[in-house]
Structure 1
């Protein structure tokens, strides 16, 4: 019997969260809720309930063209059973690399990672910290760590163990059937604020999912 999973969305291609053209899978539900997160819509639990079978069926069409798979959220490690089940199914279908983002520290997710037995090639760990600098590739704030868990992970992701360049600060833009716009990538600290101000000056009415608590002022990686 396939496991249930709370899912926010899937998308292909994603070009801003790892090398090549990637399948993006965002889990729904997050217990960490970092101040400054742009993805508050992925925090609430109990939404987007589906099955691993349905997720795998949905992404199978893209696997032949995908260079990799990026899993984020929400918080994937808040659903460890579903995460491991999904990883096993994907690994049986593709040799593409797998990158996972988690806001939990390494010490909290290490047991689940060990149980994955090489199913995750690279892992970004640690909470987004709105007060930290944003100078490193593939990380929303510099306190986060990029770990290589397999030989493929080292080969594919070692080039990202460096400062990010301004040319790389791009975002994937996605539109859904309701007319909502989604951004995937690692924006600069004030990019989202500038975009909002620009659209509002042009007369657009904009509702966003970023964290508007007084302590927020940046964006998390999604």
Structure 2
């Protein structure tokens, strides 16, 4: 598969990982965690974008970003194109990568591409959102989520220092709310991790 179903793309965020990051939210998730912050990303209908176009968009941001965060929806339900994008980011840029998944770490390890995924991600945050264990900080929505630091590029302290939320006012006047604990403003659908 050479394309991804995309829910949203934010070229500059400071609440989705250390530093200024591009954030890609994929479209589609069958895990249906009660209380999920981003239910609008669950359906399978979304804009299709080729991996090459997404990579060009990310690479075009140049030195304006430190890395890329991929969230959802559920990125590992589109594992092949997500992995292809991560491979290109690792091979062709100096950007870091963070991946959020609702799958538990033991489930990720049983996936066919687990080793390749681990080789191309700096940080993986795993586990279903559990509303009764909500923490909303340190890039973890709930306390059951596990954090896996693969490259040594970041520490838990780096993740703990990320703001819990941000409000971005776009040039067209639109408001975008994002982060691990975004407030809901009006009737908007927050894009969050």
Give the TM-score of the pair, scaled to structure 1.
0.76
For 2:71 and 2:56, how far apart are their aligned partners in 1?
19
Preserved contact between residue 139 and residue 221 of structure 1 (Cα < 8 Å)? no
Q: Give me the CA root mean square deviation.
A: 2.5
Cα pair 1:72 1:101 within 8 Å, conserved: yes
Extract unaligned runs of 5+ from structure 1.
196-205, 211-219
Q: Is 2:12 the partner of 1:17?
A: no
Equivalent-residue separation in structure 2 for 1:184 and 1:158 (angstroms)? 20
Residue 90 of structure 1 and its aligned partner are, at CA, apart by 1.4
* Higher helix content, 1 or 2: 1
- Structure 2 CA distance for aligned equivalents of residues 37 and 61 of structure 1: 31
Q: What displacement does 1:172 show?
A: 3.9
| 8 Å Cα contact 1:15-1:172 kept in structure 2 | no
Structure with higher Rg: it is 1
How much does 1:207 deviate? 2.7
44 and 147 in structure 1: CA distance in 2 versus 1, 3 angstrom threshold? same
Tell me if the contact between 2:29 and 2:43 (Cα under 8 Å) persists in the aligned partners.
Answer: yes
Secondary structure, aligned partner of 1:134: strand
Deviation at 1:175, TM superposition (A): 4.1
Aligned 8 A contact 1:18 1:99 in 2:
yes
Superposition deviation, residue 161 in structure 1: 6.5
Which residue in the other structure is 1:200 paired with?
A: none
Q: CA shift at 1:160, angstroms?
A: 4.3
Contact 1:136 1:142 in 2 (8 A): no
> Which residue number in structure 2 is paired with residue 57 of structure 1?
56
- In structure 2, relative to structure 1, the CA distance for the partners of 1:145 and 1:173 (3 Å cut) is same
- Aligned with residue 159 of structure 1, among 157, 160, 164: 157
Question: Match for residue 148 of structure 1?
Answer: 149
Contact 1:113 1:120 in 2 (8 A): no
- Assess if the C-alpha contact under 8 Å between 1:26 and 1:74 holds in 2: yes
5 Å-filtered alignment, 1:160-175, equals 160=158, 168-173=163-168, 175=170
- CA deviation string 1:15-64 (max 9, x = no partner): 01111111111111111121112211111113211211111122222132
How many residues of Structure 1 are paired with residues of Structure 2 in the alignment? 191
**Hey, what does 1:118 align to over in structure 2?**
119
Shift of 1:65: 2.0
Give unpaired runs (5+ residues) of structure 2: none
